[in-house]
Every structure is written in structure tokens, then in C-alpha cells.
Structure 1
Amino acid sequence: MSIGELAEQAGVTVKTVRFYSDRGLLPETGRSAGGHRRYGAEALDRLRLIRSLRALDLPVPEVGRVLDREDVLEGVIAGQLRSLGTQLNALRWREAALRLLTDCTAEERADRLRLIGAVPTPPDTTALARFWRQWLPARLPARLVSVILEQAVPQPPADPTPAQVLTFARLHALVSGACDPHLGPEHTQPASHRPDRDFRPDVLYDGLLESYALASADLRAQRSPYDGEALDCFVSAYAGSRGLRDTPDLRRRLGSQLAADPRIDRYWQLTAELTAPPSGPPAPTAGAAHDWLCAALDAQLAR
């Protein structure tokens, strides 16, 4: 077939056939006496396959890989699906962000634009994870860091509402804000995170995670803070991390220490708002569990 005959049978332009031929995707069988391209019958099937792959928005280099090795098609499709998912997430975020800006005052709109503009599109959790890696104590084992990040860092909703866009943007701004450089660790970190030769952060956070899990059941049941297994586990985590025994005196000192520690209540408040289900009570956050346990300790000490 001549290039014109192939183009006509495939329903494309001569320019299209020439484009794929020049890139080696459509081999020629030879040339005419006048130097014109000639194609065999298999070129029509190959051209139709190329058009199908391009219709799926596969880049030309990826089309070439598939034509050379059919076994890579599955991997190419998977990669295209991931790319498409990222694009759809970005579009959903932009749509919700635009809706957020439609019904507010001029002052609110300026503030919301500032917040939204600081968040990457599609949004990611890089800033939140960085915040926690800086907040957590040094020498914490990687396995615990991974577990804590999984529990403490909320994922941006795949199909967010305008309110969720605003909440995530506020959360992003909170963790991205620079701390006062004149403040030392004693003002920005809990006392239990400060360097100490005898401190075992793995013992502390293993115990804290267990106590939070126990307290979550009470939070879901909306029980008031009380003495029990969760509080004992909570206190034991702090005592064990310093090689101490759980005594009434230690509980009094721990209560004073926790009352003076820096708090990140705003972080947990925004996280709860972001992850709240459409109906029903939100799932307890680690911050809510920590507050519940501190309240249980305070109530015990008050008695």
C-alpha cells in the first residue's frame, strides 16, 4: 500500500502515518521506484493498535514500548491509571477549592486564597509528616515512627467538600508555620522528649499507643475519664521509659509535668474535623485519647 492508501483505510491523515513512520512505530516494507513509502497488510493492524493506545492518552514512547514488547502493556496501563488518578484528585480539589471561594466575604476570600495557595495540588502530607518527625523524640525506632505517622497524619480526602479543603489548608498552614527561633526545646517539646541518657522513647511510645487504644473505646462510648486499665497503662509508659516505678508520688509529678507541656490541641481539632464521617461521631484521635487520659489522671490526683 502507498502511504495514502494506508491512511485512507485506517481513517487517518497522511501526516499521521508519516509521523508514526518517522518515529519507527510503523515500519515500511520498502520504497517505490519514485522513493515513495510502501506498507504491508500488517501495517494497517499496527496503525489501528497505535491509534487505540494513543486514544488512551499513552505517550508516544510508551506506545513504542508496547509495540516492541506486548508483555509491558499491563505495567504501562497501571502507570497510566496512577497518573490519571492523580489528575482526577487534583481536579476534585480545585473544584472544591473554587466552591469554597464563591460564598464568603471579600476578607474571608483573601484569607482562603492565601491558605489554599500554600497547599500543593493535588494536596499531599509531606508537611504534616515533617512536622511529626520534628515533634517526636530522637532515637525513636523507625517502626514506631511509621505507626505514629499512620495514625497521626490524616490523608487528604479523595473527593473533598469545600469545608474539608479549608480544614486541610488550615492544618497545612499550622504545621508549616515557623516556630519562634528564640524558644528552646523546653518551650516547644514535651518534657518527655528532651534528651536524657536514661530515657527510652520506644518504651514510652509503645505504652502510649496501647493506652490510647484502650482509651478510644471509652471515648467512643462517651464515658467520662476514670481510673482503670487505660490510665494505668498510660502512667506505666512514662514510668517505664525512665526506669521508674508507678507510685503515687510519680503520678503527682507526672500530672504537673503534663499540665506544663506544650500542647498541639489545634492540630488534633483540625484532624478530627477533616476525618469526621458524614454522620455519626468522629473516630477518636490520639490527641483526644491523650486529653482523656490526662483528665483521668487529674481527677485521680484531685481525690
Structure 2
Amino acid sequence: MFSTYDGLCGIGELAERAGVSVKTVRFYSDSGLLPEASRSAGGHRRYGPGSLERLRMIRSLRTLDLPVSAVRRILDEEDTAGRAGGALEDAVAGQLRALGSELRALRWREAALRAVQECPAAERAGRLRLIGAVTAPPNTAPLARFWRGWLPPRMPARSVSAFLERAVPQPPEEPRPGQVLALAGLYALVSGPCDGAEPTQPHAHRAAGARASAVLYAGLAEAYDLAATDMRQDRGPYPGEALDGFVDAYASAHDTADTPRFRRVLTRQLAADPRIDRYWELTAELVSPPDGRPEPTPGSAHDWLLAALETQSGHAVPA
């Protein structure tokens, strides 16, 4: 309660009690967040007993960097329901999301700066240009666009999404300088020709029709998962369940039987098909854990399975 005869106070006293400036009180009043009880005969603002607590609430919300629009929704809800509820919860959740994005961006910028700082002086300009293409926080949309152009046309949206989930690496929350360089390298790779020519679909992947393409990529995903399990256990390529699933994916997509002859033909075809090895090398670097142990990628799993197929069919696959 204010000490004046009418229980009201002026803007100066309210500002002093709340520990803010008169300018701040005036701003909140003009914004409609802090209503005036009345004006004096001289036109001075007068505030009621509840204004001090309301001003303290506004200041607390603004200290959390909530925008004025969110503060207004919270106060309106409090005026209506007698307490802050869903509006406050939504505002805080939104602010936490925004803050998380800002922190992630800062971590990427720090790693990018270290990548520039740690390289030889003669290489810094080139490295800076490479890293400059990477947004902070990073955006994987360029990688997704690359693969959408590479995949067979008319594939079902669900199959495309499943493939992109595996082929597009998710940047780490706390990157190392080498991982920033890996993502920058991926950006550069997908934004221009590979090895002097645009990447083309491997011949063995050119299954006829959308359904056949979906069957192929679903089967390959299962085979890659099985191979990745063996790779994490440091097992070398060998004929087994993973290889059978790998070959069956191609056989089913091409509506043919899995025979020794088909395996020999498939081996030669896969060995001669265009490769995107650099993409998978950079992906492995981007997703590798701090201990440096490479995490299997669809590309490395494909190579493991092809080596197993070559061993079984007796055809040498070029390195």
C-alpha cells in the first residue's frame, strides 16, 4: 500500500520502489502492460496499489528476455484466471528453444574460429572461405537437396525420407574444429560437380519404377544396418546375413532370382558404378565420436558388403 492519502503513487515513487527507471515505467505504461489508475490535475500519472507487484512481474519476465508481446499474453491470462498458466509455460518453452539454438550457434562459431586459428597461416584464407559457407547453427538442407536430385524419380515420399534420414548426417551439438571442416567440405561437395562431372545414379540402382526403387532402398537400409553391427565389432567382410540381404535387395528390385551368376554380374556392376566416396569420408568425420573411432556410414557399409560379395564371387574389386 502506498503512503499517500488516496492509496496511489506517482511514477517516480513507483520506479524507485521497483528499482527501475522512470523511463522504463513510462515505456511499460505506454505499451499497455502497466495501466494507470488515474492522472493528477497536472496530468501526472498515478498508479494503484497493485502496480508495484505487476511492475515487478513485468521486470522479471523481461529479465528472461521475453518479448513484450509474450509478457502481454501472460499478464492478460493472469488478469483473467488469477494466475499465470499456459501462456507463461509456452513463452518459457519458446525462449528455451531459442536460447538452445543460440548456444548451438555459438559452439559452432567457436569451433569454426579454432579451425581457422589452428591451421598454418598460409592456409587460413582458403580455410576461412570454405568454412564461411556453413551457417551457424548448421543447416543440412543443401545435403538433402543433393540426395533428392540423386535418387531415382518418383520414389514414394516415405522411402525418400527414410533414405535421407540415413544419408544426411546430423551435425553434433558440440562440434570439434575437424567436424566443422567436414561439414564445410560436404557443403562444397554438394554445391558443385564431383570429380569434374555431376554425380549420377549407379547403374545397379536404376530400378524400373517407383515401387522397385522403394524396395531396393528399404532392403539396402536393412543390409547396411546388419553390416554396421559387424563393422563396430571389427569384423572383416564375410558372406552372411548382411550380404544375403544386400544381394536380395538388388534381386528383388530387378525382379530376378539371387543366383551365383547374378552375384557375379552384380559384383562387376557395382565395382564399375560411379562412387561418392568423398561424401561418405566427410560424413564419417562429421559423426565420429571424440575418441576418433569411425562410425559406420551407408557408404562404408556398402564398401564392406561389396568386399564380401567380391570375396564370394571371386571377382577382384578395384580399390
> If the TM-score is normalised by the length of the shorter chain, which range does it land in?
over 0.9
Residue 212 of structure 1 deviates from its aligned partner by: 1.1
| Residue-by-residue CA offset, 1:246-287 (whole Å, 9 max, x unaligned) | 112211221121111111111111111111112273321111
- 2:190 is matched with which residue? 175
The one-letter code of the counterpart of 2:240 is G
Bigger mean CA offset, 248-257 vs 42-51: 248-257
CA distance in 2, matches of 1:269, 1:201: 25
CA distance in 2, matches of 1:134, 1:282: 27
Question: 1:200 aligns to what SS in structure 2?
Answer: helix
* 1:50 and 2:50 correspond: no
Picking from 153, 162, 167, the partner of 1:138 is 153
- 2:109 is matched with which residue? 94
Question: 1:225 aligns to what SS in structure 2?
Answer: coil
- 2:118 is matched with which residue? 103
Could you state the TM-score of these two structures normalised by the residue count of structure 1?
A: 0.93
The one-letter code of the counterpart of 2:28 is Y
Residue 170 of structure 1 deviates from its aligned partner by: 1.0
Could you state the TM-score of these two structures normalised by the residue count of structure 2?
A: 0.88
Change (3 A) 1:195 1:285: closer
Bigger mean CA offset, 42-51 vs 68-77: 68-77
- 2:18 is matched with which residue? 10
Picking from 96, 117, 128, the partner of 2:132 is 117
For 1:1-303, list aligned pairs within 5 A: 1-69=9-77, 70=84, 71-178=86-193, 188-194=200-206, 196-197=208-209, 200-279=212-291, 281-302=293-314
Bigger mean CA offset, 91-100 vs 169-178: 169-178
CA distance in 2, matches of 1:277, 1:39: 59
Unaligned runs of 5+ in 2: 1-8, 78-83
CA distance in 2, matches of 1:233, 1:255: 15
CA distance in 1, matches of 2:21, 2:209: 76
Change (3 A) 1:181 1:103: closer
Checking the alignment, whether the CA contact within 8 Å between 1:215 and 1:289 is kept in structure 2 is: yes
| Residue-by-residue CA offset, 1:153-182 (whole Å, 9 max, x unaligned) | 211121111121111111221122246997
Residue 37 of structure 1 deviates from its aligned partner by: 1.1
CA distance in 2, matches of 1:201, 1:291: 20
CA distance in 2, matches of 1:105, 1:180: 27
Checking the alignment, whether the CA contact within 8 Å between 2:200 and 2:274 is kept in structure 1 is: yes
Q: Indicate the percent of aligned positions where both proteins have the same amino acid.
A: 64
CA distance in 1, matches of 2:177, 2:124: 13
CA distance in 2, matches of 1:122, 1:232: 41
CA distance in 1, matches of 2:137, 2:109: 8
Residue 90 of structure 1 deviates from its aligned partner by: 1.1
CA distance in 1, matches of 2:300, 2:249: 17
Checking the alignment, whether the CA contact within 8 Å between 2:178 and 2:285 is kept in structure 1 is: no
CA distance in 2, matches of 1:256, 1:159: 42
CA distance in 2, matches of 1:178, 1:45: 63
RMSD: 2.0
| Residue-by-residue CA offset, 1:4-43 (whole Å, 9 max, x unaligned) | 1111111111111111101101001111122211110101
The one-letter code of the counterpart of 2:295 is A
User: How many equivalent residue pairs?
Assistant: 300
Checking the alignment, whether the CA contact within 8 Å between 2:204 and 2:270 is kept in structure 1 is: no
Question: 1:38 aligns to what SS in structure 2?
Answer: strand
